[in-house]
Structure 1
Amino acid sequence: MPETSTAAPAEPGTNWAGNVAYRAARLHRPASLAELQSVVAGSERVKALGSRHCFNDIADTPADLVALDRLPGEVVLEPAPDGDGGTAWVPGGARYSEVVPHLAEHGSALHNLASLPHITVAGATATGTHGSGNRNGSLSTAVVGLELVRADGELVRLAPGDPDFAGAVVHLGALGVVTRIGLRYQPAFQVRTDVYVELTWERLFADFDAVADAAYSVSVFTDWREVTQVWVKARTDEHAVVPEEFFGARAATEPTHMLPGTPVENLTDQLGLPGEWHERLPHFRTGFTPSSGEELQTEYFVPRQHGREACEALRSLAHRIAPLLQVSELRTVAADDLWLSPAYGGDVLALHFTWLPEEERVRALLPAIEAALRPYGARPHWGKLFTTGADELAALYPRMGSFRELVRRFDPQGVFRNAYLDRTVAAFA
């Protein structure tokens, strides 16, 4: 006999930014895998709810939301036979802030982390979220195993080599509820962060590839009128000496926030102080509100070879962007073969916007930004604000047709279908 779900009327809850109010009639917090399977199999429409850090309605549904914070499980490390790394099995509801200390305690590391550690592993990898670095793939490229509950309640396991695996990693919540995820880990390493100011656009464009390749991870911050800061995160085993000048920019002499006037206490350490990978690769500390706390976000990915032209196109809109902008960040991400990854098929430049919390004005501006970037094949971040529709997205993703077929096989009745997927994937059109 299936277990009865622990369900309650949905809280009048919103996403992290407060711009999406979830419409679900019920919020479930299952305490066992069997209970989760019962909820999914018994629902007409259901979506998984993670850290609520998406800025759009990707997790919205009128029926049932499922939070996995009560589902039992722990991080389990499976060393590789050669002893050089292995697989970390992570519960579906776990956040990076809960996973990385466990890895660090065992002398292990992930290859990359996002700007903030507050997000869930399952949600970040399902949307192609990324860290940065010319040779670093997105967070999704660390995935080497998935366990998810399909629409009929069956637990399905996928691994590299399975024909569906490359399509299932960046799944947008369309295939099922992830209960466990396997991440490739490696030996731990140390990183130092140095911040530079007064880099010019001219010097950046003259040496763009060299700037991006100068360290393990490089972030360029801008308001589109000028370059405001460059954060250079170098592995100490790769870069023994970090210069006082960086392509003509000078080193900051005190901790510096990318958002002027914001307290620096919520940032990870700078000024070249070496630290463990998980204490330097994110921009923000775990115990503090990330970024400004009151914001919206948008991000687009363009092929790296079009980076300069894309930036020039955005600079022409600086007079419209700047009044709504808190800061923009430019980062590179290495290519991968995951069907719906923004880096599918080639290295990309990520163009990130942190906006003031003025959604109506931001949404009114997005079509102009997307039009400016359209000649360069810009793909939007799946978890942030954008207006690009299903037809254009299908043209940007060569395997979109294959993904639609995968969705129909895993979810023929549209249990995980919602308005977001209808706008972007149109699997049931």
Structure 2
Amino acid sequence: MVLTNSQPETPITNFGGNISFVPKYFYKPQTEAQVLELLNQHATGNIRVIASLHAWSDVVESEDVIVDMSHFDKVAIAKSEAGDVQVTVGGGCVLQKLLDTIHSQTNFTLPTLGAVKEQTIAGAISTGTHGSGKPSLSHYMDELRVATYDPETGKAGIYEWKNGVELRAARCAVGCMGIILSVTFRCIPQYYVEETVCRYETLEEVLAQEPEFPLQQFMLVPYLWSYFVYQRRETLKKPITPVGRVNTQLYQTYQLIGVDILFHLTLKALLSSLGSSETVRWFYKKLLPSIIVQGKTVVNESENALTMKHQLFKHLEMEVFIPARNILKATKLVQHSTSLFAGTSETVPDDVASDLSRIGLLEMLMKHRGSYTHHYPLFFRRVLPDDTLISMTSSSTEPYYTISFFTYSEPRTQFYEFAKFLAHSLTQLYDARLHWGKYYPLTNREIEHLYPPLEEFRQICKKTDPNGVFRNDYTKRVLGFDPILTQKVSPAP
């Protein structure tokens, strides 16, 4: 089969609408031979792979070659005599299809899940997609099969990494080690999740619940400044009585219609000409607490309990990872900075002011007073350390707490200023790491010290990709590869 260039007639645009570009070449290979062919054809160009386009950083961008791996979506399930289940899946397979296939043939499931199921497996592991209470999905990869370049001949070839530092690097490589053809990992027995939503007034109270509810995640409601905690834990029991099944179905319907749809429609109305900053704050302080279902315990399949429908409405997100030792101080800074940006406070507590003054950011914060009302709850998840080189919880002996900052408004100029301030202050003061695939306003100079193995990762990438074909502006600006001197473009085939 001949590999053809199908240059898109319109720009490729990501889910959030903040990244848009037109590549010179666009390929959708169907065989491994075609992947190798395009790699050899563009061995002096710049190649990136697109997946679901659910990233908000410019990690995917290339004006030269874009590859769509959606044809690589086969799922092969192997069962051992001991009852273990191992899955080998094509890099272009969407998580929803992967889950459906596993569930149709076994009573097993993925070892962890992120918030959405529209990502491809390769895209999910390339940026360290995670849930709460476990490591990221990258951590669980036992083998990766990747198309990349031979460092001696410069020709494209297929490599399998099953152990060693290469596997740890490839588990989360941000697209820098080649094109992922397939991954292999072990599944875990299917389980149910017991969930109860409870309200707490302090972060200390929330964190005290973790031993009993290790899968919990929580949100801090702006301007009310109370925590609503999704207390979650695995359970072997499933709703088998008619009442139990009805309760589960009703709760699922409430989450879909009430939270995923109506809440976001209401929010968009408040952000339109119909609303104002005052109405947004009123909504969170007075109305939202009364419509959150609290104290009701439901049991649901893990896939349903742990995921949401965030993809229904266009938005943009920045996510920061805070070491557990710093989460109390970091959250205090976030809360008071949010209030000051919104103009609901005149200043910040003395200890926060002292910290910001020490890094030269207090004056910047004060200049932004009253400039932006953040309009979405702050979501927290707890992510355990990864056995990778550069995922966000790599090289750590402690968990990280993630804080997600969403915006549903446009234009986003004011949100960007808010996000940049938080990114700079949280990184400098509390060793925060930002999610590679989400809004990323920092540079390598600011984050290099946070990732001790980053130089080792770069050297591994240079061996598998000596000409820097898989690197783009983002990977150079953020990961610290050699700076771009000229725009790399493939010669005409």
Q: C-alpha distance in 1, partners of 2:302/2:254? A: 21
Please list, as runs of the form range in 1=range in 2, the aligned pairs for 1:69-218 lying within 5 A after superposition: 69-71=70-72, 73-80=73-80, 82-83=82-83, 85-105=84-104, 106-133=106-133, 136-151=134-149, 152-159=155-162, 161-196=163-198, 198-200=199-201, 202=202, 204-205=203-204, 207-218=205-216
Using the TM superposition, give the Cα deviation of residue 208 of structure 1 relative to its aligned residue in structure 2, in angstroms: 4.0
Q: C-alpha distance in 1, partners of 2:211/2:4? A: 50
Partner of 1:366: 419
Larger displacement relative to structure 2 (271-280 or 379-388): 271-280
Using the TM superposition, give the Cα deviation of residue 254 of structure 1 relative to its aligned residue in structure 2, in angstroms: 6.0
Partner of 2:322: 302
Find the partner of 2:332 among 303, 306, 312. Answer: 312
Partner of 2:287: none
Find the partner of 2:381 among 312, 323, 331. Answer: 331
Question: What's the secondary structure of 2:230's corresponding residue?
Answer: strand
Contact 1:259 1:326 in 2 (8 A): no
Using the TM superposition, give the Cα deviation of residue 8 of structure 1 relative to its aligned residue in structure 2, in angstroms: 1.0
Larger radius of gyration: 2
The unaligned stretches of length 5 or more in structure 1 are 241-250, 285-289
Contact 1:88 1:185 in 2 (8 A): yes
Contact 1:110 1:142 in 2 (8 A): no
Question: What's the secondary structure of 2:66's corresponding residue?
Answer: strand
Contact 1:87 1:144 in 2 (8 A): no
RMSD: 2.6
Contact 1:314 1:372 in 2 (8 A): no
Q: C-alpha distance in 2, partners of 1:309/1:238? A: 38
Question: What's the secondary structure of 2:216's corresponding residue?
Answer: strand
Contact 1:215 1:239 in 2 (8 A): no
Q: CA 1:227–1:254 in structure 2 vs 1: closer, same or farther (change >3 Å)? A: farther
Q: C-alpha distance in 2, partners of 1:5/1:94? A: 20
Q: Which of the two has greater helix per residue? A: 2
Partner of 2:37: 38
1:55-76 deviations in whole A, cap 9, x for unaligned?
01101011110001123x5211
Contact 1:115 1:131 in 2 (8 A): yes
Q: CA 1:217–1:260 in structure 2 vs 1: closer, same or farther (change >3 Å)? A: farther
Q: CA 1:413–1:254 in structure 2 vs 1: closer, same or farther (change >3 Å)? A: closer
Contact 1:69 1:94 in 2 (8 A): yes
Q: C-alpha distance in 1, partners of 2:207/2:15? A: 35
Using the TM superposition, give the Cα deviation of residue 229 of structure 1 relative to its aligned residue in structure 2, in angstroms: 2.7
Question: What's the secondary structure of 2:373's corresponding residue?
Answer: helix
Contact 2:192 2:237 in 1 (8 A): no
Say whether residues 1:47 and 2:45 are aligned partners. no
Using the TM superposition, give the Cα deviation of residue 260 of structure 1 relative to its aligned residue in structure 2, in angstroms: 6.8
Q: C-alpha distance in 2, partners of 1:157/1:47? A: 20
Say whether residues 1:405 and 2:459 are aligned partners. yes
Q: C-alpha distance in 1, partners of 2:463/2:32? A: 22
1:227-264 deviations in whole A, cap 9, x for unaligned?
35322232223899xxxxxxxxxx9x965527873379
Using the TM superposition, give the Cα deviation of residue 178 of structure 1 relative to its aligned residue in structure 2, in angstroms: 0.4
Q: C-alpha distance in 2, partners of 1:318/1:292? A: 26
Find the partner of 2:399 among 347, 352, 363. Answer: 347
Q: C-alpha distance in 2, partners of 1:258/1:306? A: 31
Contact 1:40 1:153 in 2 (8 A): yes
Q: C-alpha distance in 2, partners of 1:237/1:208? A: 25
Q: C-alpha distance in 2, partners of 1:363/1:67? A: 30
Report the residue type matching 2:330 in the other structure: A
Find the partner of 2:480 among 423, 426, 429. Answer: 426
Q: C-alpha distance in 2, partners of 1:76/1:117? A: 19
Q: C-alpha distance in 1, partners of 2:265/2:417? A: 31
Please list, as runs of the form range in 1=range in 2, the aligned pairs for 1:181-330 lying within 5 A after superposition: 181-196=183-198, 198-200=199-201, 202=202, 204-205=203-204, 207-225=205-223, 226-227=225-226, 229-237=228-236, 255=255, 257=259, 261-262=263-264, 272-284=297-309, 290-291=310-311, 293-319=313-339, 320=341, 323-330=373-380
Q: C-alpha distance in 1, partners of 2:261/2:336? A: 22
Contact 1:258 1:327 in 2 (8 A): no
Q: Count the aligned residue pairs.
A: 399
Report the residue type matching 2:144 in the other structure: L
Question: What's the secondary structure of 2:23's corresponding residue?
Answer: coil
Q: C-alpha distance in 2, partners of 1:22/1:306? A: 38
Q: CA 1:80–1:281 in structure 2 vs 1: closer, same or farther (change >3 Å)? A: farther
1:352-395 deviations in whole A, cap 9, x for unaligned?
11113433222222231023312110000000012121122210
Contact 1:45 1:416 in 2 (8 A): yes
Question: What's the secondary structure of 1:52's corresponding residue?
Answer: coil
Q: Which has the higher contact order (CA 8 A, sep 6+)?
A: 2
Using the TM superposition, give the Cα deviation of residue 405 of structure 1 relative to its aligned residue in structure 2, in angstroms: 0.3
Q: CA 1:254–1:95 in structure 2 vs 1: closer, same or farther (change >3 Å)? A: closer
Q: C-alpha distance in 2, partners of 1:318/1:303? A: 21
Larger displacement relative to structure 2 (217-226 or 12-21): 217-226
Q: CA 1:275–1:332 in structure 2 vs 1: closer, same or farther (change >3 Å)? A: same
Report the residue type matching 1:187 in the other structure: P
Question: What's the secondary structure of 1:180's corresponding residue?
Answer: strand
